Each structure stands twice: as C-alpha cells, then as structure tokens.
Structure 1
C-alpha cells in the first residue's frame, strides 16, 4: 500500500467514526475529510471541487425548488385531507395515503414529500383520535421505496447515475430501477398494512406548541368566530385546535371572560375570540378558513392586504420608542403610525395576554398591517427598526400559479422519461419557469434548497474520487473478491448490498453510495462483468434505510413527530430490510446478471 492509499483509508475511517458518533453536522465532517485530502496533496484543487459541479448533485437542488412550488400551491394539503377522509377504517386511510406517497416520491424528491405530508397527517390523526405513530413511519418507508422507482425519486439514484456518467458508463434510464422499485413498494405497503402497523407503538405524543427551526418567530394573535362560518357550533377538536401543533390556542374569550383551560369538546360560538400563538404562515392558514376573522383593533383589515392596499411589515421596538411599557389598547397605534398590529413576538417569553392588554417592551417584534403613511410617520422618529417586508401568506396563489407547477412537473417527467432531454436539462427548464413566473420568488428559492445535503454529496464525490485515484477502491475490491470467491458472483452482490446498507444506516445514504460505488466499479472490472448490477445494488441498498432514524432524512423527520423511539425503527425495520434485500438481489440476479 502506498502512503496516499493509507492516508485515504485513514481519512475515510475517521470520517465514518465521526459521523456515527454525531460529533458535529455531516456536512462539516465530509468537508473536513475533503480538505484533509486536498491539503495532503492526494487531491488536486480541480478534483476536490469537481463534486460541486456534478450534474446529479445540481439536479437534486433544482428538483427541490420544483417540489417547493408544488407544495406552495396548496394542492398537496387538499389532496391529503381528501384522501384520508375517504377511508372508512384506519387501515383503509393508511392505504389511501401510502399509495400516493410512494407514487409522488417517484417523481418528486421524497424528503419534501414527507415534509409536506407529516404535519397534515398528524393533525388528521389527532382530529380522529388516532395515533400518528401508526401512520408516519409507514409513510416514510413508502416514500423511500417509492423513490427507487425512478431516476429522480431519490437523491441516491441521481448521485449514482451522475458518478457513472462522469466515468464514461451509461448510467440509469428514467424507469430502469422500477423493475426493482415497483415490486418492493407493493410488498412493503402490504407488509405495513397487515403486519407493520401491529408492530408499531400506539403512541400519541404531545408536541410542543411549536416545531421547526428555532429562528422562526411565534406571534401572539387574536381571531373572532364569525356568524354562519365553518367554526360556529364546532368543537376545538373538530377544528384542529385541541392540540399544540403549529398553532397553539392560548385561550377563548367569551362574554369578556378569558378561559385558558378548554377541553377538546369545547363548543365555539359566534363572537368567541381565540387567543392564538404560532408562526405567521400558521396564523395566515387559519385566517383563510371560512368562519374566522383576524382582529386588528383598527379599521385596517386583512382584506386590504389581499387587495394590495396595505403592506405586511415586521418591526422591532427600539429602546427609544414612545410606546414602551404601554398597553396596546392605550397606544392608539393606527392614529399615530398608520398601521395595525396583527401579532406580537417576544424572544423567549410566551405571551398569554389578550392583544390589547400586552405591554410593549424593548425588543418586541411587531407584525404590522401598514398603511401608505407608515414610513412617512416613522422615518424621522427612532420608534422601530424595520426588519423587512413580509411576503403575503394571507393571499392565496392565483389558480394558474397553483396548477402550473403540476403541469411543469408532468412535462419534466415526460421529457426525461422519453429521453428527449436529460433530467438535468428538464429540471433546469422547469425551475427557470417556476422562478421566472414568480411562482416562487427568487429570494425565497434558497429556503427550498437543502444546502447541507448538497454539500454532503459534493464533498463525498471528492472523497470517492480519492478512493479511485489512490487505488484504495481497488485494494478493497480485491480483498472482498478474495473473501467471497467461494460464493461466486451472487455472494459478491450480497456482500456489496450488506456493506452499503450498513453504511447508510450508520452515516448517510448519499455518503454510503459514494463510498461504495468506486468499490463496486473496481469489483466489476476485476471480475470482468457489467457494472450495471453492482451499481443497482449500491443505489437500492443506500436508499433502503429502515432500521435507524439517522440513516435517511425522511426517517429523521418523522422520528420526533411520531413520538418514536430508536427501538421502534429496529423492531419494524429489520424484517423490512431483509425483505427488500432478498427481493433486490433476486431481481438483480434474474434481470441483469
């Protein structure tokens, strides 16, 4: 072994140990490993940064923008609610959500699918007094195997495809992996419906009133129940306000009395005022429902915001403001500033009072419905620091903006599947339309791109290059061939699957694929056989993460939302992993060997 090979193997082992121990974030670990290989001279600069221009990696980022546009259209939420409510039994409802989950994840990246489905399914479960733990993990599993049905369904497929093309191999066609993906998806859905759900816990976790990124603000707001709306005569449970989900019910005001302890069966009446706390988008989603009206305490109404007469602003109260330590009801805010207060956020201090009784303190963030004279009245006074104008979540997208992302997605899939243009070109064109038509504003596009995942992929590609360049991949391949020679080619495929699957459970799916693919390429070369079966084994095994919550992003996403424990993944994931492994190797052997 040369010193370059020894250093490369040492760096990879250190990287894997660090990832398993979760010392720091994965992107930092892989970037550290890549920089080490660059500093030692094993990789040249152009080789180290090559992964950041990989078509597979860039395609993933573009697909996430398109998935974000579909999610933003609101059709996803309406579809899921419709599908779940059609089920006459919990098992039928689960079937109705697993089938579209797996299909959607074949044409969209599965991580945003789970991100969109999870809160809606969770709320539906709570509304019908069902355990989310019986639904969320099956959805994660269904999107994982559903993603293996097409080239674009999972980032792993795209990464493996991109590496093959870069090295002069043919790569995967759009539906090539469906030969394996479709059968394992069908078998997994049947298993989860009749066996898996019995193995899953019947757990109803109480989530904190807010789940999400810590930097997102929680605003206190107030809404009133309107006459002849959808809320009058409904219980808190029926309208989805009995649990602390994205939007928390602080209390209900009736006949000028505040009731903070309301049972799920508390019946709402006309004129009830709901004290709420949550993110702006959650408040806006509730306000858009028929039957509720956001209290502004002024003549300004949200309708003016919808029609473009007012602006939504976020401002911080300065230490020199004239409204400090006054209650909102005593400030005469609209008369002074030509604006109405929609919500108040106070850092690390949840506000329980009625809006009008909140006392303003320095550093409070106010969500304002601002009139045309707001800037004129505040520009020469050090009252507020304007953070930025907010996008208008109270305004539903025009119908054409809701429909167009679906159409673009269909056209993109058809063009790529027919091999008229490459998947990268098709995704690029679709993303240009999404951004150019302002379906997603350019400044918001970054919110939909998983930069951490892309950095992991790009850095891992550089590490894979080092394995091939130094001969480390060849050395490992020769060692594996020596061990498995008595078992023949099928023994090599089995070992390749097991190693890749172990790596994906311990580190990340993309890193596992990028580490194992060079070994597979060298193994196929030494054996004098086609690379295709080995590449397919690596792609499927790297995606088939069922035994731990850390191996795949979708598992990690439902881990806390469903109230799961680590052992729950092991209990259900081990039999699922064995089934998928046996089917994958058997089909690969019959079709490609």
Structure 2
C-alpha cells in the first residue's frame, strides 16, 4: 500500500475506539479525523467536503423537517390516542404497542417516535397496572426493526442509497425495494418480542416508580413568621450553600417561586422545599427561624402554572457527564433544580450535589414551563418528559402533516420525482402550510447526525482514493477464498459489530467503499452487499449505547446492560439469519 493508504487506514481504524471509549461526540471525532487527513494531504478539499453536497445528506435533512412537522402538530400523539386503548393482559398490551410502532418507524425517524411514545407508555402502564420495563425495550427494538422496511426508515438507509446511486446510477432503488427483506425481518423480530423476548426480562423498577413519592427525597420547612429570617434574602439566611441540601422552591400564598435565586426575600409562612439527604434535616433544624412543615400534601404533588416537574434522560453527549451536579452549576445553566437521580432502576443515594452524572441517568427536575421547549432538542438530554401540568397537543393540522408525508411517499414510489426532490417538496409544504415553523424546523435538524454523515463521507473517500479500500478488500478476498457468500456474511458481521460500538451511520458509510471494492474484486453485483450494510447497521440490539432509542429507554426502564444481551442476542441472530437468507434471493450475486 502507498503511504497515503497506510495513513488513511491508521486514522480510520483509530476513529472507532475513540468513539467507543471516549465521551467525545462522533461528529467531533470524525471531523477531527477528516481535518487530519486533509492537513496531511491524503484527501483534497473536494473529496473531504464532498459529503456536504451529498444527495443522501440533504434527503436526511429534509426528512427531519417532515418529522418535525408531525411532532409539532401532535401527529404521533394522535396515533397513540387511537392505538393504545385498554387491552386485557400484557401480551395484548405489547401487541398494541409494537405492531403500530414498527410500520410507523418505516416512514419516520425512530428517535422522535420513541421519544413521544415513552411518556405515553409510562402513563399507560400505570393505568393498566403493567410493568413498564416489559414494554419499553420492545418499543425501542420494534422501532429499529421498522426502520428496515423502507429507505425512509433510517438515515443510514438514505445515505447508503445515496452512496450507491452516486457510484452506480443505474442501480437506484425504489422506496419499498428493501421491504422484500425488511418486512420478513420485522415480522420475525416482532413475533419474537411478543412471544419470547418479554419473558426474558427480569423484574425491574423504572425511574417513574423511584420518583413516585417526592417526600422520600425532599424536606419541607416553613419560615417562622416571628423568626429572624423574615425579609432576609436566601443568601443572607444561609440557605444558598448548604452542605447536604438544595433549596428548590418556595410555596407562598397559593403560588410557587420555582428555581429560587439567591436574592429572593423570605416571608413569614413561606413553605421551603429542599432536595437532598434526610441527614440534611439536622442542618436545617439548626437554623433559627425555620420550623418543620406540617402540611399534609407535599408541595411537589400540587400543580402550579409557574412550575413543572420533568424527567430528563441524560445523553452521552451531555456536558455534565463525569462532573458533580454542584460543581457544574446545573441550576444556573439550565434554570432547573435536580430533585433526585435514578440510575439502573434505583435512586442514587448520598449528597445530591456530589453525584457525578452518567449517560442514561434519569433526573427528576423542577423547572419553569419554558424549560421543556427550550431543551427538548438539546443534545444534553435524550428525552424530556413532563410529569405534571402537561397540555394536550393541538391536532388540528396533524392530518395535514400526515398527508404531506403520504404525498412524499407517493411521489417517490411512483417515480414522478427523486426521493431527494420529494423530501424537499414535503419539507417546503410543511413550513408553508404552518405544520412546522422555521424555528421548529431548525430545532428538528439533528446537526450531530448530519455532521457525522458528512465527515464519514470524507473518510470513506480517503479510503477509496488512497487505495486503502482496495487493499482491505484484497485482504478480505484472501480470507473468504473468493466466495461471495462468505464475503456477504463477513460484511454483515463486521458492520453489525461496529454499529454496537459506534454510530450506525459511521459504521455503514466508512465500510461502504471497502465492501464495494470487495464486490468489484469478485466481479459480482454490489447490491447484496449494499443491502447487507443497511440491515447490519440497524441490527443494534446488544447494548444500550449501540442505538439512540436503546439509550432512551435504558434509564426510564431501569434496565441493566445484561438485559440487552439477554433479549437482544437472540434477536440479533434471528434477524441476521433472515436477512442473510433473503438478500441473495432478492438481489442475486
């Protein structure tokens, strides 16, 4: 291999452990690798930046706007209202959940689908007296399976197809072409979840059960009207820097002062709510002017228009990962107070301010109403679910949003226009019709995914242009002894393994040129290998970090990593057998 090929190979190989073992975002890792290759002269600017002009990338971006319009109009909530109902028994409840989620995820990005379903499923499970953990993991897995039904199902499908038509325009696929394999894979996977998968999950306690009784992790005191704290600020009263506790809110004359600032003045009869350890009660009792509150109902169980209680699932990209809540000034940055932290189905004990956050931690937060909209699209949180005072979404334009999506599908399926043009027209119609505002469209764009895709294109181009892809393909040919079947199986296994450790988009796009070079070396059609990359990149059932929806349900379901292995390993095997058995039949070598 040439020096450029060796440099490309070393840099790309280093990318995967860096993404898997560090908290640096995949977009930053891949962009850094691309800048390094550009600086070393391995790729020229046109090759490095080619991903930013990819049709697949723009199709993904326009689809994000379409999904945002359905979310903003309450389109997914409308489906939830009609399909969940009141089934009798756990199996029927699971069927009511996964059977609509799988086809829905064939046309919408599964992340907003799962994000919308999670709070509804938690409320639904309480109403039916069913364990939520039996429903949340199947919800995530069903959405992943549904993404294999159409090209719209995942961003990976769209991008891999974009790479395909750039290289082989004559091999362009129809919107439903992969359904010949995707539907059997989804049917087998959903059947497994209904009959076997749910039985493999041991009893677990989710965050909702942990946070059910606020009295367990809050202490309420009152300001003595005749005491020395009246008309003093929170700072002057010594309540700002307590060792074991945070002052969360003040209930005053039927209203509430949420996320209390240091300059707030105390009044006689104020009811103060502190979060922290029970040992902190001793510290409060030593402060003159505070007396224990004897009100029957906890202040946090009351509804106030000035305050919201929300559950937030910490993302693996959150800037507070590894930092203590107090040191990171969480309340100052987000305008929300942490009441409790749930990890692995259990509340994290000890001094609240000393807790170091980890990915998938579930935080119970007290915040002002604007917090939810302001941080719903934040990369710091995978999910923000409101616990009280939630408003029902307006569904007046939901049917219009769904109609626009149906129009996009119709245009792309009939061949009247390309998938890119159909998605672009749909996004424009969503904004012009008022289904999605400009601001909502911007928030709906997942810039991390888009940057990851663009950088992955550049790295793939480096492997291709430098000759590294051909060299790797030659090595693979020797290992599989020139057998196209063994190359197909090897392709599937490698991509499936990488997607468990790093982002599925990067795994697919970076391996694409190597797989194509291997097919060309054998002199066979590249189609079975391209489709294998699509399906293997979605086969992420073994770990909570392999797919974003898996991480989203990890905290609320109170799961452990072993739960994913227990349920996901058989599902991975089943989907691999079905996909590898059908792909060469539909797309012969």
Aligned to 1:195: 196
Matches of residues 423-462 of structure 1 in structure 2 within 5 Å? Answer: 423-462=419-458
On the 8 A contact 1:546/1:576 being kept in 2, the answer is yes
Establish whether residue 180 from structure 1 lines up as the match of residue 174 from structure 2. no
Q: State the Cα deviation string for residues 433-483 of structure 1 (Å, max 9, x = none).
A: 111233222123221111111111110011001111011111111111101
Aligned to 1:24: 24
Aligned to 2:297: 260
- Once residues 476 and 142 of structure 1 are traced to their aligned partners in structure 2, the CA distance between those partners, rounded to angstroms, is 35
On the 8 A contact 1:157/1:539 being kept in 2, the answer is yes
Aligned to 1:311: none
Q: Could you tell me how far 1:396 is from its partner in structure 2? A: 5.7
- Once residues 251 and 68 of structure 2 are traced to their aligned partners in structure 1, the CA distance between those partners, rounded to angstroms, is 27
- Once residues 121 and 220 of structure 1 are traced to their aligned partners in structure 2, the CA distance between those partners, rounded to angstroms, is 32
On the 8 A contact 2:207/2:557 being kept in 1, the answer is no
- Once residues 366 and 517 of structure 1 are traced to their aligned partners in structure 2, the CA distance between those partners, rounded to angstroms, is 47
Matches of residues 523-538 of structure 1 in structure 2 within 5 Å? Answer: 523-538=518-533
Distance 1:471 1:186, change over 3 A: same
Moved more, 60-69 or 537-546: 60-69
Matches of residues 242-321 of structure 1 in structure 2 within 5 Å? Answer: 258-261=295-298, 274-275=303-304, 279=308
Aligned to 1:109: 109
Q: State the Cα deviation string for residues 396-429 of structure 1 (Å, max 9, x = none).
A: 6472x23210110111111111111111111111
On the 8 A contact 2:80/2:117 being kept in 1, the answer is yes
- Once residues 30 and 162 of structure 1 are traced to their aligned partners in structure 2, the CA distance between those partners, rounded to angstroms, is 19
On the 8 A contact 2:140/2:550 being kept in 1, the answer is yes
Establish whether residue 171 from structure 1 lines up as the match of residue 172 from structure 2. yes
TM-score of the superposed pair, with normalisation by structure 1: 0.70
- Once residues 97 and 446 of structure 1 are traced to their aligned partners in structure 2, the CA distance between those partners, rounded to angstroms, is 30
Aligned to 2:317: none
On the 8 A contact 1:222/1:275 being kept in 2, the answer is no
Aligned to 1:91: 91
Matches of residues 460-479 of structure 1 in structure 2 within 5 Å? Answer: 460-479=456-475
- Once residues 90 and 119 of structure 1 are traced to their aligned partners in structure 2, the CA distance between those partners, rounded to angstroms, is 18
- Once residues 454 and 477 of structure 1 are traced to their aligned partners in structure 2, the CA distance between those partners, rounded to angstroms, is 28
- Please, which runs of 5 or more residues in structure 2 have no aligned partner? 213-247, 255-292, 312-333, 340-365, 371-389
Aligned to 2:415: 419
- Once residues 5 and 428 of structure 2 are traced to their aligned partners in structure 1, the CA distance between those partners, rounded to angstroms, is 43
2:303 partner SS: strand
Which one of 576, 579, 588 corresponds to residue 584 of structure 1?
579
TM-score of the superposed pair, with normalisation by structure 2: 0.71
Distance 1:260 1:136, change over 3 A: same
- Once residues 500 and 189 of structure 1 are traced to their aligned partners in structure 2, the CA distance between those partners, rounded to angstroms, is 22
Q: Could you tell me how far 1:263 is from its partner in structure 2? A: 12
Aligned to 1:513: 508
Aligned residues: 448
- Once residues 112 and 444 of structure 1 are traced to their aligned partners in structure 2, the CA distance between those partners, rounded to angstroms, is 13
Which one of 559, 569, 585 corresponds to residue 574 of structure 1?
569
- Once residues 206 and 396 of structure 1 are traced to their aligned partners in structure 2, the CA distance between those partners, rounded to angstroms, is 24
- Once residues 434 and 518 of structure 1 are traced to their aligned partners in structure 2, the CA distance between those partners, rounded to angstroms, is 35
Distance 1:435 1:537, change over 3 A: same
On the 8 A contact 1:464/1:514 being kept in 2, the answer is yes
2:406 partner SS: helix
Q: Could you tell me how far 1:517 is from its partner in structure 2? A: 1.1
On the 8 A contact 2:148/2:154 being kept in 1, the answer is yes
Aligned to 1:500: 495
On the 8 A contact 2:109/2:155 being kept in 1, the answer is yes
Matches of residues 344-493 of structure 1 in structure 2 within 5 Å? Answer: 348=337, 397=394, 399=396, 401-485=397-481, 488-493=483-488
* Larger RCO of the pair (alpha carbons < 8 Å, separation 6+): 2
Q: Could you tell me how far 1:155 is from its partner in structure 2? A: 0.9
- Please, which runs of 5 or more residues in structure 1 have no aligned partner? 211-217, 225-255, 265-272, 283-344, 351-363, 369-392
Q: Could you tell me how far 1:112 is from its partner in structure 2? A: 1.5
